[in-house]
Amino acid sequence: MKIKITRITADIVDIPLKRSHQFSAAKIDAKPFLILQMETNEGVIGIGEGTTPGIWWGGESVETMKLVIDQYFSPLLYDEDPRQIERILGRMDRQVFGNEFAKATVEMALYDIVGKLAGVPVYQLFGGQYYEKLPTRWALAIGKVEEDVEEAKVKMEGNVHHQFKMKAGNLPTAEDADRAIKVAEKLKGLTTVGVDPNGSWDELTTRKWMDRLYKAGIAFLEQPLPKWDIDGLARLKEMKKVPIMADESASTLSEVDQLIKREAVDIISLKVHKSGGMSRVKKIAAMAEAAGVPCFGGTSLESSIGTTAALHVYSTIPNLTEGCELFGPIWLADDIVDQPLKLSGGHIFLPEESGLGVTISQEKLNKYRRKNVMSAGGTQ
């Protein structure tokens, strides 16, 4: 009997956070997720998750993802063989420009189905584990020096996290840099701290502060300049002070190709959602490996579903030498799965069950499901 997709459902849920989180453009107290369930005629259900830091980050939100999946991708998916992932991705690309977060959500569910059909964890579909566990950085995002320092010390004392990065970009560049230096200096000798302004700093001010950032021991600057400013990133890299990491500038294969050709970055931050799925993350990592560029395992702040998907592919990448930041499940006040991922000793561990290895808690899904969702025709 031919295996085919027969049912697709997409629900938006809103899960509260343990504490407020300050991005460069927004402060949040709860995190929205799109939970996708895709069923085959044999009763195998694949799970996918879509989420973003916010629509300000890459132009997508859980609401846009639901619209695109419901109205554009679902008609392409019904009666298709879920094992033909590359063909399905190609069809989605031909029919819908961009919308990489939505595409990644669909691909995640497809790989979950294929892993379950084969009886193997998804990481086996990407060549098997290179790492059994990954060191995980925690994001210091309270926004105040003393409170960020205290949070880092509590995490270290509790043997939960031993490396950190600061969210920045909510202040003018000079004030932001000064705050980052004060935090790094107070933690110097205890841990390492990176800084992520989400593309909000200006080049001139960053250059003026680079020596002081370097002397404070800042581990890296993640996307200090806007996504489009590749030349500016290259000039910061040429200073040979704090390593420059690309995130927003390194979303697609073509973008990474340009970064490598122009020698614009020291590190590539990988993310499943921004690149349109796990398979494309694997390709981007291979491009970086060929150029001798190390990778970092980024996050879109997923629950255990999306975090597991990222972990499956990250664990197969030899040049993912800079660790990861897959802290989403313990950042949330609750989770949407029956058994959340295991994090301990500053590391995150993979589940060994077939597929993604996670199961949705229907009780939690019902509890956090958004009741009023805007569709193309109005409120549902």
Structural domains of the chain ordered from first start: 5-120+360-379 (3.30.390.10), 124-349 (3.20.20.120)
The pLDDT tens digits for 116-167 are 999 999 999 999 999 988 999 998 877 789 999 999 999 998 888 889 998 8
Distance between CA atoms of 126 and 280, rounded to whole angstroms? 11
CB 193 within 8 A of CB 183: yes
Q: How many C-beta neighbours within 10 Å does residue 200 have?
A: 20
- In this prediction the pTM is 0.91
What is the pLDDT averaged over residues 264-288? Answer: 97
CB 281 within 8 A of CB 319: no
Model confidence at 376, pLDDT cuts 50, 70, 90, reads very low
What is the pLDDT averaged over residues 343-348? Answer: 84
CB 133 within 8 A of CB 350: yes
**Which residues have CB under 8 Å from 241's CB, separation 6+?**
210, 211, 213, 214
Confidence check: pLDDT of 377 > 80: no
- Mean predicted lDDT score pLDDT of the chain: 91
Distance between CA atoms of 134 and 139, rounded to whole angstroms? 16
Report pLDDT for 41. 95
Distance between CA atoms of 284 and 81, rounded to whole angstroms? 26
Report pLDDT for 100. 95
Reading the block at residue 129, the tokens are 């584990």
167 belongs to the catalytic site: yes
Model confidence at 290, pLDDT cuts 50, 70, 90, reads very high
The pLDDT tens digits for 192-243 are 899 999 999 999 999 999 999 999 999 999 999 999 999 999 999 999 999 9
Confidence check: pLDDT of 283 > 50: yes
Q: Which of 74, 4, 2 is nearest to 36 (CA)?
A: 74
What is the pLDDT averaged over residues 172-180? Answer: 92
The fraction of the chain above a pLDDT of 90, given in percent, is 76
Report pLDDT for 8. 97
Report pLDDT for 22. 58
Model confidence at 187, pLDDT cuts 50, 70, 90, reads very high
Confidence check: pLDDT of 1 > 90: no
Name the β-bridge partners of 344: 347
B/e letters for 246-273, b = 16+ CB within 10 Å, e = fewer, are bbbbbbbeebbeebbeeebbbbbbbbbb
Model confidence at 4, pLDDT cuts 50, 70, 90, reads very high
Model confidence at 380, pLDDT cuts 50, 70, 90, reads very low
Which amino acid type is present at position 303? S
| Catalytically annotated residue among 103, 167, 274, 364 | 167
**Vertex 66 angle, CA 64 and 71, to 5°:** 100
| Catalytically annotated residue among 66, 222, 325, 364 | 325
Report pLDDT for 374. 59
Confidence check: pLDDT of 350 > 50: yes
Report pLDDT for 144. 85
Q: Which of 223, 218, 233 is nearest to 177 (CA)?
A: 218
B/e letters for 21-42, b = 16+ CB within 10 Å, e = fewer, are bbbbeeebeebbbbbbbbbbee
What is the pLDDT averaged over residues 252-270? Answer: 96
What is the pLDDT averaged over residues 95-124? Answer: 97
49 belongs to the catalytic site: no
For residue 360, what are the CA distances in angstroms to 9, 43, 48, 366?
Answer: 13, 15, 10, 11
Confidence check: pLDDT of 21 > 80: no
Reading the block at residue 21, the tokens are 């989180």
For residue 368, what are the CA distances in angstroms to 101, 196, 327, 358?
Answer: 21, 30, 20, 18
Confidence check: pLDDT of 379 > 80: no
What is the pLDDT averaged over residues 370-376? Answer: 67
